[in-house]
Amino acid sequence: MKIVTTNSYISLMTYGISLTVIGPALKEVQGEIVLTGSELGLFTTFLSVGLIISVLAGGFFVDRYRVKSVGLLGQLLLTLGLFTFSVFGSFPVGLFAFFMVGFGGGLIEIVVNTIISGIYAERRTAALNLLHGFFGVGALVGPILMGYLVESGFGWRFGYQVIALVSVIVLILQLLTKYPEKVSSDKIDFSYFFKIMRNPYTLILGAMILLYVGSEMGINYWSVLYMETNLDIPKITASSFLTYFWLAMTFGRFITFMVAQKIGGKRLLLCLTLFSVLAFSVFIFSRSGAAAGGALLALGLAFSGIFPTVVALGTDRFPETLGTITGFLMMFMGGGTLLFPWLIGAISDVSSLRTGMLSILFFIGLLTILTGTLGFKRIGRA
């Protein structure tokens, strides 16, 4: 199982790279294709459509087909999407490429989360935090890699081709690895899915995933352009600050699993969301590069344990149907990626990019409020 676990880590890592390279390339893509802010946001909208479809179907596929086959399909689609975007010359083709990245990434998410949840059921919160630490490793590599390639004259298209090649290598490793035929107790049950949808506790967890992922992707997608245009920070420096954000998140995920075992998931979440409000407030009201970079670093630490801990709370509540609860929560993840980056772009078209970024503070504040409701006894028993 160690090899399967390692493959899960590196597969999610490539998805992390794929999601974070677009931010440093955004200005060049916009200039080359000539797109408005809301049109730029549509890339992640199409990514999210693919993501939502795949996570809803992913648990179903994992239950009825070999988990290895589903994982291979996800990695293959991710690779094809990355390469297609690297050569696209029209807006519709670019949107389709992001749809493939989202569909492939959704399959990767559902496979690796359910594999790790099943293998390490006795210490699920810790295992999932560790897994998503590797997403963070990929996410911190993406911005600095793309920023360097663009600044060095290689171009953003070459950057996407490099990442597609890395994904091919991961695909080959998966082909050579023996996976379990089935993941125990991981199955999609649509009758149970609707039962989960009516549960106040899981609805709150879903809304938390929506707000968290939407805020995270809004920062990932727009923060480099925001720092370039509003704070006059050079691209390579702004890309480095985004890398610090993911570096802090990665480091935080490798330590929050230990903290969660000592203070519990709900208390950990409340501490992290309160810290997030403070850190993002410093970022959005900063007038200097140093302050903005330091705030992004702090925000990465604050964000680090939110997603895996929410997933762990859901799977702990419904351990008998890991695929269903994971697919339910991943659906909200897709919704956050679909709505928020586009919404920030639309707000920037009407007002300014700073106003669009400021909306993230509202989303994080609402996330904090929802975290506080998890302590209510009525909801806690739901």
* pLDDT higher than 70, residue 15: yes
Min mean pLDDT across 174-183, 272-281, 294-303, 306-315 is at 174-183
CA-to-CA separations, 239 to 44, 108, 147, in angstroms, rounded: 19, 26, 6
CB 21 within 8 A of CB 239: no
Torsion on CA atoms 164, 166, 170, 171, rounded to nearest 10: 30
What end-to-end distance do the CA atoms of the chain give, in Å? 34
Q: What is the mean pLDDT of residues 250-265?
A: 74
Work out the pLDDT band at 40, boundaries 50, 70, 90: confident
Q: Which residue has the higher pLDDT, 131 or 378?
A: 131
Residue 201 makes CB contacts below 8 A (sequence gap 6+) with 317, 374, 379, 380, 382
Q: What is the mean pLDDT of residues 349-356?
A: 92
Q: What is the mean pLDDT of residues 233-247?
A: 88
Q: What mean pLDDT is reported for the chain?
A: 84
Q: What is the mean pLDDT of residues 171-177?
A: 86
pLDDT at 198: 76
* pLDDT higher than 60, residue 257: yes
Residue 155 makes CB contacts below 8 A (sequence gap 6+) with 28, 149
Min mean pLDDT across 72-81, 174-183, 357-366 is at 174-183
Q: How far apart are CA 235 and CA 233, in angstroms?
A: 6
* pLDDT > 70: percent of the chain: 88
What's CA 316's distance to the chain center, in Å?
21
- Residue pLDDT, tens place only, 215-232: 998 998 899 999 999 999
Q: How far apart are CA 136 and CA 131, in angstroms?
A: 9
* Cβ atoms < 10 Å from Cβ of 379: 14
What tokens appear for 163 in the block? 């990442």
- Residue pLDDT, tens place only, 105-145: 988 988 887 788 777 767 766 787 778 778 878 887 888 88
What tokens appear for 148 in the block? 């360097």
Min mean pLDDT across 123-137, 192-206, 278-292 is at 123-137
Q: How far apart are CA 151 and CA 325, in angstroms?
A: 43
* pLDDT higher than 70, residue 322: no
What tokens appear for 348 in the block? 């920037």
Work out the pLDDT band at 3, boundaries 50, 70, 90: confident
pLDDT at 134: 85
Q: How far apart are CA 155 and CA 148, in angstroms?
A: 9
pLDDT at 369: 94
CB 204 within 8 A of CB 378: no
Min mean pLDDT across 117-121, 159-163, 360-364 is at 117-121
